[in-house]
Structure 1
Amino acid sequence: MPAIGTKRILIIEDDTVTLRALAQMVQNAGYLAIIATDGAEAIKNFESDVPDLMLVDINLAGETFGQQLDGLGVIDWLNHNHPALPIKYIIVSCDDPQKYQGRAAAIGALSFIRKPVEKDSLLAEIRRAIGDPLDPG
């Protein structure tokens, strides 16, 4: 069980191999990994325990509330339905960042990490995003 005060990171990724790898990186760095494989599960997990940060894949399989929502759509839904919460996002995707740059910025994404994920880069972005005092930079 993580220590009291441990930062919680919700990882939304529909590829189970990538999801496990991201969760392992996050846990090995001392964070609590909360996982979701689709938008509906992400929203449910978010609403039961608001995370300190979300790592969000853009291309998600399945429907959320009867509609196809990609990762950016899930973020948009959360922003719209929980406007008072300080929600932080990092996009993690194999897509070209330029393709989604405008939309990601409009919904408040802090950064875009391209897959395959490099552990040190991911952890540096996480620490920067949540203001982790263990940030080596």
Structure 2
Amino acid sequence: MALPILVVDDSALARKVLTKALPEDWDVEVFYASNGVEALAQYRDGHASVMFLDLTMPGMNGYEVLDVLKQEELNTFVIVVSADVQTEAQERAKAAGAMAFIQKPVTREKLLPVLKEYGIYG
């Protein structure tokens, strides 16, 4: 059975780049959200065993999504994908429940070690 993963980013290009960086042999079904509200709806529909989450989005941003996941004790493996690589952003995201942080643009070379480290792939 394919693993449901959710790619959350307000940029269609960023969603496409991340999707292309996924391992080709990884048995996943990819779902998409362009903001935090859509991300939570997709999660609640069972479409986010793994969530790739941008931090900067209009409406509900990635930090707010992490807060809701934590407050409601929702269980998903969140990997933040952001151009904001400041230490403060990384620490804040991890304190809010993100498991890992990958800098944009996402490449397979950046993504694979994270997936393997946490036992999600390979």
In structure 2, C-alpha distance between the alignment counterparts of 1:27 and 1:34, rounded to whole Å = 16
2:111 aligned with 1:115: no
In structure 1, C-alpha distance between the alignment counterparts of 2:121 and 2:62, rounded to whole Å = 28
Secondary structure at 2:84 match in 1: coil
Identity, in percent, stands at 27
In structure 2, C-alpha distance between the alignment counterparts of 1:9 and 1:36, rounded to whole Å = 11
Residue 10 of structure 1 aligns with which residue? 6
Q: Which runs of 5+ in 1 are unaligned?
A: 64-68
Give how far 1:58 is off. 0.6
In structure 2, C-alpha distance between the alignment counterparts of 1:121 and 1:54, rounded to whole Å = 16
Residue 46 of structure 1 aligns with which residue? 43
Q: 1:72 aligns with which of 46, 63, 74?
A: 63
- Larger of the two Rg values belongs to structure: 1
The answer as to whether partners of 1:27 and 1:33 remain within 8 angstroms in 2 is no
Flag the structure with more relative contact order, 1 or 2, with Cα contacts below 8 A and sequence separation at least 6: 2
The answer as to whether partners of 1:12 and 1:55 remain within 8 angstroms in 2 is yes
Q: Any runs of at least 4 consecutive aligned residues in structure 1 with deviations exceeding 3 A, and if so which?
A: none
The answer as to whether partners of 2:5 and 2:47 remain within 8 angstroms in 1 is no
2:22 aligned with 1:26: yes
Secondary structure at 2:13 match in 1: helix
Change (3 A) 1:127 1:29: farther
In structure 1, C-alpha distance between the alignment counterparts of 2:121 and 2:41, rounded to whole Å = 29
Change (3 A) 1:102 1:17: same
Residue 98 of structure 1 aligns with which residue? 87
